[in-house]
Structure 1
């Protein structure tokens, strides 16, 4: 364990490096990984910002596959956080904090920078931090004092590791944070141990809430169980999710499904009734509104774009929205989502964004050309982009 004087010297050196980098000069011996993150996030993050931007994470936490595993370990997490004067946090795959625990003093300090439920800690929102690095690299990471891009975080040290589902997908991260003077080498091993305990429970935990995947292949789950829905029911569910929580009037839903076609009101009511039955009554009557929390991948993609998290949005984007549907409302939303993601990809300087988006849009020559342009000559993925471009042309 580093002595207090050694920690102070390290913090002072990092503060000088940080100030030099912002002034446009060499940043000393700052880690390459940190420097790269500073460069990526500087265009969207003011180093002088006071706190992380906030969103409502209530529905996300209710539908999260991490909720039950984390709550099962909540007593252990609280004990560790209280004893070591840390605060523990769990995020979703986009870097939005869904749950925290810790002593009153640490919680108060954390809340000042919105290290609390609803806080957005991805790189485009809050710059370099352990949570954003762990999500980006898919491995454990720590960030000490002035390695954070945002000055308000220079009093902190954070230890973080990604949490994976049984399929290997990143579901979120677990972070332990404290003041810089409490930096300890054992903190990272504690995080890894806790993540292993959470991951061991993920497959056994019932997934609460309603989850809808409508980008690419359409799949709906409720309470962890798949829903056997017909294509029309999937269309209705998708439209209600995209308009949640305001919902749609019967007239609005009829127009979205049928457009100018002459369809009897009784037909629409029967189709909504079938969906309501499949959801155990979770669709209101007069105005069609989902009456329970819903996680929808299309809604999440748009939220990530609003949060300027292009990496998260592209990762979540599985393809066109209900690609075989001809419902006018679905076609409108399909174009809206695809155009939004595509423009963010083209505006991005990260070739990974263009490569990922290109997988779902094989005939988009401009996207493939963007990937080919951004990739260095030595990158073997450049050949993939070139092949896709030839195919698209």
Structure 2
């Protein structure tokens, strides 16, 4: 209780100092005398940031999502972070943090954490694609660590942007074997969970990543006899997983697991994944673990242990459909949507995702003003009268395709 009271007093004091000095700095364009009560690195960062950042902004600017995905795939930090993914997720969830990894520009490439903290973080775009360099988001731990090359923490109103005054962030830069900063590792949480041990944790994790970078480099330089390319998963209308063009020998249950992990990058607790696969069916723990072990071997160890999540890149047609829909690209979503998700599967988790995909694609078609979208979807949904009626509304009276849509509607109404 005493610690929380101390934190509250510190926050109140910083809020007061922020209200006193930031407006003056913004008006004067220079650092006024008498700011000694605050950390020098913070006030200097305020001054640099005010030329490009409005303290009232509500979230970080966002880079292109697709480009961020490719940047993470090609990042030298990807493999060492993937190797620590289980530990990073466990620490973040147990301690109530959200953890992020950026590139050298300050753009977030990867995050993990519990659902509550993730939602809070996403409100300020503390998520993949969010830009957290000083020019984009002002004073914060990530921008300070990138600028100084040293660990940094920023508490409450030390942040320039007021939307971040409810946060505390602990961050350390990750250096490559040649000394260059490759990015930063950040652990953030609400101000009332501030804990000095968090910085020690960040330093330890960064030291582990840097150690793995040093040993990874020579290993990557050697030819590898095994398949090392990304896994390609087809699960719409059919089911097959390939690596370097070679089919993986997976049983249907393992394809279900791979599909669920591809659709939920944050992963599953063992209990939740088991429920998503079997529902209320009585299945022994050894049977469940055997399926996971077989899939892990097929992926050369590409599944985290503590929390089941993929640690290797997997391209999944269902995930690409969802990504296209999120970007408003109905054309791409329809091109990729070749049928229901794993149509033979009766796993509860797959059935839930199957329904979600079907409803999402249909809603995008019904919201589209393109008759081609309605006609293409209507071919796969012959009994959906509303889709055929939608196509007829969109088609010009002289368009010969009206006959096709009218015929489909008549068939659907008759059946």
TM-score, length-normalised on structure 1? 0.52
Question: Which residue does the alignment assign to 1:165?
Answer: 176
Cα contact 1:129–1:143 (8 A) shared by 2: yes
Residue 183 (1) aligns with residue 198 (2): no
The Cα shift of 1:224 comes to 6.1
Q: How do 1:1-393 residues align onto structure 2 when only pairs under 5 Å count?
A: 3-24=3-24, 26-27=34-35, 29-56=37-64, 57-205=68-216
Structure 2 SS opposite 1:142:
strand
Cα contact 2:149–2:173 (8 A) shared by 1: yes
Question: Which residue does the alignment assign to 1:263?
Answer: none
Cα contact 2:55–2:162 (8 A) shared by 1: yes
The Cα shift of 1:205 comes to 3.3
More relative contact order in 1 or in 2 (CA 8 Å, sep 6+)? Answer: 1
The Cα shift of 1:118 comes to 0.5
- Which protein has the larger Cα radius of gyration, Structure 1 or Structure 2? 2
Distance 1:41 1:60 in 2: 26
Question: Which residue does the alignment assign to 2:401?
Answer: none
Structure 1 SS opposite 2:198:
helix
Q: Show CA shifts across 1:236-281 (max 9, x none).
A: xxxxxxxxxxxxxxxxxxxxxxxxxxxxxxxxxxxxxxxxxxxxxx
Shift in CA distance, 154/126, structure 1 to aligned 2, threshold 3 Å: same
Shift in CA distance, 124/224, structure 1 to aligned 2, threshold 3 Å: farther
The aligned length equals 212
The Cα shift of 1:96 comes to 0.4
Distance 2:221 2:171 in 1: 27
The Cα shift of 1:101 comes to 0.2
Cα contact 2:176–2:213 (8 A) shared by 1: yes
Cα contact 2:177–2:213 (8 A) shared by 1: yes
Distance 1:2 1:77 in 2: 29
Cα contact 1:101–1:107 (8 A) shared by 2: yes
Cα contact 1:65–1:206 (8 A) shared by 2: no
Mark the runs of 5 or more structure 1 residues left unpaired by the alignment.
208-222, 227-393
Structure 2 SS opposite 1:205:
helix
Structure 1 SS opposite 2:56:
coil
The Cα shift of 1:202 comes to 1.1
The Cα shift of 1:27 comes to 4.2
The Cα shift of 1:23 comes to 2.9
Cα contact 1:18–1:27 (8 A) shared by 2: no
TM-score, length-normalised on structure 2? 0.49
Structure 2 SS opposite 1:203:
helix
Distance 1:159 1:4 in 2: 18
Shift in CA distance, 28/15, structure 1 to aligned 2, threshold 3 Å: farther
Mark the runs of 5 or more structure 2 residues left unpaired by the alignment.
25-31, 224-415
Moved over 2 A (4+): 25-28, 203-207, 223-226
Distance 1:30 1:104 in 2: 34
Shift in CA distance, 53/169, structure 1 to aligned 2, threshold 3 Å: same
Structure 1 SS opposite 2:216:
coil
Distance 1:172 1:75 in 2: 20
Shift in CA distance, 2/168, structure 1 to aligned 2, threshold 3 Å: farther
